Chain A
Amino acid sequence: MHEDPIVITGYGILSALGNDHDTTLSALTNGISGIGAIRHLATSHTEFPVGEVKMTNEEMESALSLPADSVTTRTALMGMIALDRAVSMAHLTRESGSQNGIAFISGTTVGGMDRSEQHYLDFLAGEDFKQYISTHDCGACSEMIASRHDILNFVATPSTACSSAANAIILGARMLLSGQSDIVVAGGSECITKFHLNGFNTLMILDREQCRPFDRDRAGLNLGEGAAYLVMERQSHAAKRGVTPIVELAGWGNACDAFHQTASSDDGEGAYLAMKQAVERACINPANVGYINAHGTGTPNNDISETHAMQRLFGDNVPPVSSTKSSTGHTTSASGAIESVITIMAITNNFLPANIGFHTPIDGGMSPVSTPKLNTRVDYALCNSFGFGGNDSSLLFKRIKFQ
């Protein structure tokens, strides 16, 4: 229990579930999946369902009122929309971080790969499209998003594959605890690219049907895309600014599975350690956790490994679990932030989101929440994000006391 805890005072989210807060919440409480046939990505692999953001780049540029000749990437565009929402919800202005400023920490791995894969041969051949060469790297992507608001004085880009956004939130927490920043806007953004759709396909971990996390017959993941950011600050700072805390970030953990570059260990060591650290940092018992938003990709390997990790920490009393990747798709580097926002919505709106597509438990596994469970109060909720290379992170959110 911290005397001046880190609280969330705003967020923004954009995913296959919707382009704004209300559409997202309504899809979640009604158990609607945003996964469907590919519409925007120019790929020949139309057999794979995906969770695309339902906007073209041009529609996003127009929504952001960007000049027609803007040099952007899809990841940056989605990030800008989510950042705008977070900034507005938390009432951020330049004065909000009057002492040590406002930091922006945005995870991505894909960066500007959407443009690079379109124009790589052009880049090599000559001068055409060369303005996109310097939008390729991950840091450039975050700076493009940051340039949207003239209120930020620090930019960092964690790139730990599918746990990037969760690690952005963890660095953000430490920037606040160490007094380096007054406010941190942390999360991530990632668009679907042919590069990683094909990469995941070579690893044979894509499902040709709607994914079915934690199901005995699960056959892989569906890729998704989107962006989300949390506005984080100390409770005393929020009070001084006169903004109302939404939830508390009570704990976090980061551990490495140290097992394999693309597979999780059978006993889920990294996942177990990450969740354990999060619970211990919050000084609570595992029994206090009322909901877990699982990493739950739907791959045979992840879901059994994560199940074992949860069983190690919670014994026979694993709390209600769901993987909302069954409605957003796996939004890779953004997933830690998108699923954090979903977890926060669950706490503040008293419901448990659904793990769509589940029918039959894994042998010795558990049954996730298969339809939205309304009127359910949760005080503590874990949100898991695990990445390639065993980069495993877990975040623990807590209901604000007076609610």
Chain B
Amino acid sequence: MKPNIPIYITAACQISIQEPLCDKWMSEPRLGLSGYNEAIDPVFKEWMSPGEARRLGKIMKRAVVTSAECMKASGITMPDAIITATGLGCVKNTELFLTDLCTQGESLLKPTQFMQSTHNTISSLIAILNKCHGYNVTYAQGDMSADVALLDAVTQLSLGDIKTALVGAHDEMTPNYYTLLNRSGYYGHESMVSSGEVAVSFMLSSNADREALCLIDDIAVFYKPATESLRAYLTTISNVDCILAGYNGKPENDMLYDNIISLRDNPDTPVLQYKNLFGESMTASALGLYAAVRIISTGNFHNSMYRSGSVPANINSVLIINASGNDISLMKLSKVSL
């Protein structure tokens, strides 16, 4: 959908397998990562008490940090909505509870593991810490989780139901779950990028903001789209300076992107990738959005992201493509010109 009013991204913060809470990935990224990799965590005690740091799982701590930094950077301390995406939820606690259940049976199980295993624990925690009574929802839509969360936020901003939304995307990966996802074929292809862990927060706002990082001009999420309707939609967003796509080195995945890009009426648009730096995970597309926001607001990106075509000196608009199985999402960002 094309929002009927300008919708801004006013802050974006990340913790990932790259250096956290900074843009070092643009100049000196960690390169050549493969297999299983955990996120690089900041020093959590700068954001929370030692008790909290002990009590909360990593996925929760990371969410606390990126949310807090995002609220600080945007100056919005009480967003109208908190919308969270997570593909797999709190994997670590789920795994602990499940392991106990499967090995020691249905007794002596731990309530805290169960309490911190539910997907919406993350979004609720951010609301509890900030006493935020506004709209609060979590989406778990596989590789489209972040895209659906952003679609909800943009829809509500566009309808005027809210003015600001804190949108987060959070996934953690454990060695055991990585093994499982190798068996299922999600990970494990020899030419594939690293696994990833994701903690990204964005502040979206419909208040006019000269300082904003970029505008969201379009967002659409499709399930099994007919080729012709996808082609028609792509025509409405063909005028962009570059494409940022979720190539991950797995042939059947990369083919999806090649096919979508081939439907565009402007086949020479340069193409960049981001999963070579940030890894693959169900909410990796949120790191794609993060990278696109930074590329537009700073004009920089790392050479390793370059995939095809020649990139213009000024990148004023980016089309972000996320594709997986039957699902495709398209998002167009542009530079703020007030």
Smallest distance from the beta carbon of B136 to chain A beta carbons, Å? Answer: 4
Instruction: Please tell me which one of the listed residues B138, B282, B325 contacts residue A160 in the complex, with CB atoms under 8 A apart.
Output: B138
**Is the C-beta of B77 less than 8 angstroms from some C-beta in chain A?**
no
Once the chains bind, are B101 and A138 in contact (CB under 8 Å)?
Answer: no
* A156 and B155 form a contact (CB under 8 A): no
- Is A366 an interface position by the 8 A CB rule? no
Q: Which of A256-292 contact B (CB under 8 A)?
A: 256-262, 269-270, 273
**CB atoms of A133 and B180 under 8 A apart:** yes
Please encode chain B, from 85 to 111, with 1 for each CB lying within 8 Å of some chain A CB and 0 for all others: 011110000000111011101100111
Binary contact track B215-243/A, C-beta < 8 Å → 1, others 0: 00000011111000100000000000000
Q: Are A255 and B134 in contact (CB under 8 A)?
A: yes
| Alpha-carbon gap, A219 to B101, bound state (A) | 25
Contact with A along B127-170 (1 / 0, CB 8 A): 11011111111111111110010011001101101000000000
Residue numbers in B under 8 Å from A156 (CB-CB): 139, 141, 144, 148, 151, 221
Q: Does A9 contact B (CB under 8 A)?
A: no
Given A137-B140, A389-B120, also A195-B97 (CB < 8 A): yes
B113: min CB distance to chain A, Å: 8
How far is it, in angstroms, between the C-alpha of A171 and the C-alpha of B331 when the chains are bound? Answer: 19
Which residues of chain A are near B140, meaning CB under 8 Å? Answer: 111, 137-139, 157, 159
Residues from chain B with Cβ under 8 Å of A158 in the complex: 137-139
Alpha-carbon separation in the docked complex, A116 to B114 (Å):
15
- Among the listed A120, A142, A143, which residue makes an inter-chain contact with B102, where contact means beta carbons less than 8 Å apart? A120
Cross-chain contact A389 with B118 (CB below 8 angstroms): yes
Interface hits, A109-129 → B, CB 8 Å: 109, 111, 116-117, 120-121, 123-124, 127
Q: A133-B183, A199-B117, A256-B82 in contact; A180/B1 too (CB < 8 A)?
A: yes
A261 & B180 in contact (Cβ 8 Å cutoff): no
Nearest Cβ on chain A to B118's Cβ, whole angstroms: 5
Partner of A43, one of B106, B117, B186: B106
Candidates B88, B128, B133, B223; contact of A155 at CB < 8 Å: B223
Q: Is the CB of A391 within 8 A of B136?
A: yes
Which residues of A sit under 8 angstroms from B151, Cβ to Cβ?
A: 156
Contact B128 A390 (CB under 8 A): yes
Task: Decide: B137 and A117 in contact? CB cutoff 8 A.
Answer: no
B161: chain A residues within 8 A (beta carbon): 174
- Cβ contact of B145, chosen from A139, A202, A259, cutoff 8 A: A139
Given the complex, which residues of B lie within 8 Å of A208, measured CB to CB? Answer: none
Check A140 for interface membership: any CB of B closer than 8 A: yes
- The answer to whether B132 and A123 have CB atoms under 8 Å apart is no
Interface residues on B, range: 35 or more
Partner of B98, one of A44, A116, A258, A391: A116
B87:A203 contact, CB within 8 angstroms: no
Interface residue? A23 (CB, 8 A) = no
| Complexed CA–CA distance, A123 and B184 (Å) | 9
Count of A interface residues, CB-CB < 8 Å? 68
Interface pair A139/B87, CB less than 8 Å apart: yes
Q: Provide the residues of chain B in CB contact with A45, threshold 8 Å.
A: 106
Indicate whether A152 reaches chain B with its CB closer than 8 angstroms.
yes
Indicate if B326 sits at the interface (CB-CB under 8 A).
Answer: yes
Contact status of A256 and B133, CB under 8 A, knowing A139-B142, A159-B119, A388-B118: yes
B162 to chain A, nearest CB (A): 11
- Quick one: given A178-B1, A256-B136, are A389 and B106 in contact (CB under 8 Å)? no
Give, as a whole number of angstroms, the nearest-CB distance from A126 to chain B.
Answer: 8
Are A130 and B99 in touch, CB under 8 angstroms?
no
Known: A201-B109, A255-B133. 17 other contacts (CB 8 A): A43-B106, A109-B120, A120-B98, A137-B140, A139-B282, A142-B141, A156-B141, A198-B109, A198-B114, A202-B109, A259-B128, A387-B120, A388-B120, A388-B124, A389-B121, A389-B123, A390-B128
Mind listing 20 A-B residue pairs with CB under 8 Å? A117-B102, A121-B102, A133-B181, A142-B141, A155-B223, A156-B139, A156-B148, A159-B119, A160-B123, A171-B137, A174-B159, A175-B155, A178-B158, A202-B110, A261-B115, A270-B133, A390-B127, A391-B120, A391-B123, A391-B137
Q: Chain A interface (Cβ within 8 Å of chain B)? A: 43-45, 104, 109, 111, 116-117, 120-121, 123-124, 127, 130, 133-134, 136-140, 142-143, 146, 150, 152-161, 167, 171, 174-175, 177-180, 194-196, 198-199, 201-203, 254-262, 269-270, 273, 387-391
3 A-B pairs closest in CB distance: A389-B124, A139-B142, A199-B114
